[in-house]
Amino acid sequence: MATTTPKSAYLRGVVDGLPFILVIIPFATLFGLLAVEAGLNVIEALVFSLVVIAGAAQFTALQLMQEDAPTIIVLASALAVNLRMAMYSASLTPYIGSAPLWQRALAAYLTVDQSYMVSVAQFEKEPQMTVPQRIAYFFGAVTPVVPLWYIFTVVGAMLGSRVPDSWALDFALPITFLAMIAPMFRTLAHVVAAFVAVVVSLLAVGVPFSLGIIIAGVAGMVAGAQAELWLERRRELSQ
């Protein structure tokens, strides 16, 4: 199905964003729950989710505050976990960089793993999309996700410690990310990038402030780019 108007692009984004409801609900609930366990009240948990909307960074901050880490370390670590957002921003720039400033600012606030991933996959698949269509699609993809992030933070906070550990809500995030990554392995270069990133991330797991993720991410990106160059050269040689 080709996207034609911004409105149909928006609806298409909504549809493509729907599967993430299954993830965002347990993930947001878990944050609300842990926030209350850490001594926050419902309003504080909600404001946290409204202002930051970045699950992994929020979990990191919460964890470190409970361990009485210095404020600067809490901020630096949580922001390090979020450094990937800067990479997302860079990678979205060729697609939506010429949109009006207010749209880019709103898109920036709404840049979460899910909206980024689903949008970039779509923009790559249909390079002929116009900028307004891309922006509409992006906002569509966050529509089913972001409101639920707020709502279920509150639900989790109100449930408090009534949810048993045996529900294994912690694993909603890894499962989702793996499910989202798998269809993105379109070329050998993508596989190489992921493989190198995984190996480096496991080796760098002891690096403080979650910087291992960034190191591994950069290593994977370099590996992917080099593999792409190598594949191109080989194709040229064989012609």
Partner 1 sequence: MIDRTTLWIVIIGLGLGSFFLRFVFTGLVGNRPMPAWLLRHLRYTAVAVLPALVAPQVLWPAATGGEPDPARLAAAAAALSVGLITKNVLAAMLAGGVTLYGMLYLFL
Of 183 and 236, nearer to partner 1 (C-beta) is 183
**CA distance readout (Å), 114 to 21, 142, 205:** 10, 8, 24
**Interacting residues with partner 1 between 212 and 231 (CB under 8 A):** 212-213, 216-225, 228-229
Residue selected from 120, 151, 158, 211 as contacting partner 1 according to rule CB under 8 A: 120
Nearest to 10 by CA among 201, 142, 149: 142
Give the span between the Cα atoms of 20 and 43, in whole angstroms.
25
Residue selected from 14, 42, 47, 231 as contacting partner 1 according to rule CB under 8 A: 47
Residue selected from 150, 158, 159, 190 as contacting partner 1 according to rule CB under 8 A: 190
Of 9 and 99, nearer to partner 1 (C-beta) is 99
The contacts of residue 238 (CB under 8 Å, 6+ apart) are none
* Minimum CB distance to partner 1, residue 219 (Å): 8
Q: Give the per-residue contact string, 7-46, with partner 1 (x = CB under 8 A; - = no).
A: ------------x--xx--------------xxx---x--
**Interacting residues with partner 1 between 132 and 171 (CB under 8 A):** 165-166, 168, 170-171
Residue span binding partner 1 (CB under 8 A) among the ranges 6-14, 89-97, 139-147, 156-164: 89-97
Q: Is residue 124 a contact partner of residue 95, using CB atoms and an 8 Å limit?
A: no
* Minimum CB distance to partner 1, residue 205 (Å): 5
The contacts of residue 227 (CB under 8 Å, 6+ apart) are 188, 189, 192, 193
Give the span between the Cα atoms of 154 and 117, in whole angstroms.
26
Residue span binding partner 1 (CB under 8 A) among the ranges 5-13, 140-148, 154-162, 182-190: 182-190
Give the span between the Cα atoms of 136 and 7, in whole angstroms.
7
Count other Cβ atoms within 10 Å, centred on residue 173: 17
Here the tokens at position 210 are: 């979650």
* Minimum CB distance to partner 1, residue 17 (Å): 10
Of 4 and 126, nearer to partner 1 (C-beta) is 126
Give the span between the Cα atoms of 189 and 220, in whole angstroms.
10
Residue selected from 105, 147, 161, 230 as contacting partner 1 according to rule CB under 8 A: 105
Whole-number CA gyration radius for the chain: 19
Residue selected from 11, 14, 42, 79 as contacting partner 1 according to rule CB under 8 A: 79
Q: Is residue 105 a contact partner of residue 73, using CB atoms and an 8 Å limit?
A: no
Task: Examine residue 200 and tell whether it contacts partner 1 (CB under 8 A).
Answer: yes
